[in-house]
Amino acid sequence: MTTTLMETRVARPSIKSSRPERSVHDIIGEGRLAPAVSRGAWGLSLLTAVLCWASFTPLDWGPLGWVCLVPVLLLVRIERKTRLMYTALTVTSLLGWVATLQWMRLGDPAMVPAWIALSAYLSLYLPIFIGLSRVAVHRLRLPLMLAAPVVWTGLEFLRAHLMTGFPWYFIGHTQHHWVEVIQIADVLGTYGVSFLLLLTSAAIAGLVPPHWLAKLRLLSTDDNRTPERYAVTFFQQRKQIVTCLCLLTATLTYGFVRRAQADFTAGPRVALIQGNFTTSLKHDPAQWKQIFGVHRYLAWKAVKHQPDLVVWPETMFRDRLFVHAAGMTGQQLEDVHPQIPLDAWHTQRVSDMLLDLAEEANAASIIGLDVIEANPGSLSHYNSAAFIVPEVGITSRYDKVHRVPFGEYIPLRETLPWIHKLTPFGDNFGIQAGESMKFFDDGEWRYAPLICFEDTVPHLVRQVVEVSGRNGQPADVLVNLTNDGWFHGSSELDQHLITARFRTIETRTPMVRAVNTGISAIIDGDGLVVEPEVFIEPEALMELDGSYDGEPRTSMRDPETGEFHKQLNCAMVGAVPLDPRGSLYVRWGDWFASVCAACCLALVVAGFTLKPKPVVAE
């Protein structure tokens, strides 16, 4: 019996597995080609997020701008992405933006969702930057030193335009202390400065020794020979270093030459009035009398210094100006808004008050206020700047054309009317955009008004200066009216000023800024803040600030730290340094950044159409 069973088992045909047998060579090859663990990607992404945050205000460690992106550029060098690489980039970038934009939460609890939403949107740019750079380097075989700056510059340009744009925190802004470097902005815009920094960062990333990539856990395991593929020859290293040094030398040379060409002449004497009122006070009608009184008193204190122009901040004249189309009947006015009394449309009280302010100062005035305008069948609310001339009254008005999303309007509301229900704002929230730019002419000078964050938008300010010159007389002075009282003396005030300074270099046009809570300033065509001839902080108003109990300050800077004073009631008077130089950026526009943006779009197409080349195990 036993023998029979054994024979039967031997005679039975063997059953082969349906899976093909894998050789030891195949198993080792798969191990070598497997993505590296995610630890390295998380560490490098977090390091870049921290360095980028430290490069900007409040720390403002500008030199980090040259290296803050080096860690994530190592993720472009490796041929095979690590595990969870794009997840790490997105999450850490989100954390970095949340920390950078934390000042948004100070305005109002309703701004917290907007703070998080904007941070989430901006966090997408870093993984997109890495992804497009990897397409350029590994599928098109372009050098990292070319791919990275082109992609980054193109994405900054797109960020400045998409959804009305957010042109804050460009990497080039970190160099505002190095004045000679940023002078190339009058040729290529701030985008040129960003391009130089990214080119340098890419060169540094390319010089990182290959064995570091393995130590950082960026390469596939079990392949000790992989780092050799990333070796950079001495000739390549020297070429990268020489290229960076030549471009930096050329940039510095241009900066020194352009600054030497500056032949500033004294322009109009401008009195900048700065109140110190938080937004909660601004929207409290019980405080409007005090707000008016403080600004009027500061303007009166500046009168003896004989200004040619007096500037009040954005919407700090709290009485609204009601205007309507000619010939509208009382019934038509009631139809557009039944709650507004008819007397409001016909009274001259606000116009007379503005005229009185200009005559008290014996100077032209630009004052920020809300305007309600009625037309048959429609009612519009504008954030405006009124130009008032003594003995004449209001001669012109500029209505803000570039609105802040979720701060002054809800995007896509006209297309998707229900979208406002997803926000904490009511049905009547928002203002209308002005129809066109306006210029205020007073004697020999032309002023170009900008309201709120309009001074941060490069293409808008360039267009203002270009249109002004096309109309016969170039703008002599950019006049920014801003209310930064939302942000309680945070780093937003410093970053807003830094961003505005780049507009003066790009256009070679000086700017004056009257800012509620600060930082008011006179900025010359080199992007430098000019100390005013007179700084006024009346003792009678010091107790209103509640933050200073010493002697009145006589300078806009703290003498010990060099930092700008914030959150105080003050006025400053000084002559604006007119700049006779021209600007290629004004003449040619954003051609450079546009080309970079077009390259980004081409890389998107390449990413979907070109298959990645297989990585062969050695």
What letter represents residue 591's amino acid? Answer: W
Do 274 and 161 share a structural domain?
no
Do 174 and 69 share a structural domain?
yes
**What is the pLDDT, as a whole number, of residue 420?**
52
**What is the pLDDT, as a whole number, of residue 411?**
64
Tell me the three state secondary structure of residue 309: strand
Determine the length of the chain.
Answer: 618
**DSSP code at position 405:** B
Q: Do residues 477 and 447 make contact, with C-beta atoms less than 8 angstroms apart?
A: yes
Question: Is residue 467 assigned to a domain?
Answer: yes
Per-residue pLDDT averaged across 268-286, rounded?
88
**DSSP code at position 348:** -
Dihedral of alpha carbons 337, 341, 347, 349, sign = negative
Cα–Cα distance measured from residue 284 to residue 288, given in angstroms and rounded to the nearest whole number: 7
Residue 250 has pLDDT above 60, yes or no: yes
In what helix (H) or strand (E) does residue 337 lie, and over which residues does it extend? none
- What confidence tens digit (pLDDT) does each residue in 551-606 have? 889 999 999 899 999 999 999 999 999 999 999 999 999 999 999 999 999 999 99
Do 240 and 205 share a structural domain?
yes
Share of the chain residues as helix, strand and coil, in percent rounded to the nearest 5: 50, 15, 35
Q: Do residues 503 and 511 make contact, with C-beta atoms less than 8 angstroms apart?
A: yes
Do 463 and 343 share a structural domain?
yes
Q: Do residues 145 and 199 make contact, with C-beta atoms less than 8 angstroms apart?
A: yes
Cα–Cα distance measured from residue 427 to residue 408, given in angstroms and rounded to the nearest whole number: 13
Q: Do residues 517 and 492 make contact, with C-beta atoms less than 8 angstroms apart?
A: no
Residue 3: band (very low, low, confident or very high) from pLDDT cuts 50, 70, 90 = very low
Q: Could you list the residue range(s) of the whole structural domain that residue 571 is in?
A: 265-411+437-580
Do 270 and 255 share a structural domain?
no
Do 214 and 71 share a structural domain?
yes
Domain total of the chain: 2
Do 187 and 89 share a structural domain?
yes
Structure tokens that stand for 436 in this block: 């066109």
In what helix (H) or strand (E) does residue 445 lie, and over which residues does it extend? strand 445-451
Do 480 and 512 share a structural domain?
yes
Cα–Cα distance measured from residue 32 to residue 38, given in angstroms and rounded to the nearest whole number: 16
Measured between alpha carbons, how far is residue 236 from residues 147, 209, 231, 439 in Å? 16, 13, 10, 53
Do 339 and 195 share a structural domain?
no
Task: Look at 22-36, 82-96, 273-287 and tell me which has the smallest mean pLDDT.
Answer: 22-36
Do 571 and 597 share a structural domain?
no
Do 223 and 340 share a structural domain?
no
**DSSP code at position 135:** I
Question: Is residue 5 assigned to a domain?
Answer: no
CATH number at residue 328: 3.60.110.10
Residue 429's Cα: distance from chain center in Å? 24
Between strands 440-442 and 393-399, the pairing is: unpaired
**What is the pLDDT, as a whole number, of residue 403?**
83
φ, ψ of residue 202 to 5 degrees: the values are -65, -40
Beta-bridge partners for 514: 481
Cα–Cα distance measured from residue 132 to residue 598, given in angstroms and rounded to the nearest whole number: 12
Residue 1 has pLDDT above 70, yes or no: no
Nearest to 32 by CA among 214, 215, 233, 208: 214
Task: Look at 131-140, 434-443, 456-465 and tell me which has the smallest mean pLDDT.
Answer: 434-443
Do 277 and 238 share a structural domain?
no
Dihedral of alpha carbons 44, 45, 50, 55, sign = positive
**What is the pLDDT, as a whole number, of residue 27?**
47
SS3 track for 465-503 = HHHHHHCCCCCCEEEEEEECHHHCCCHHHHHHHHHHHHH
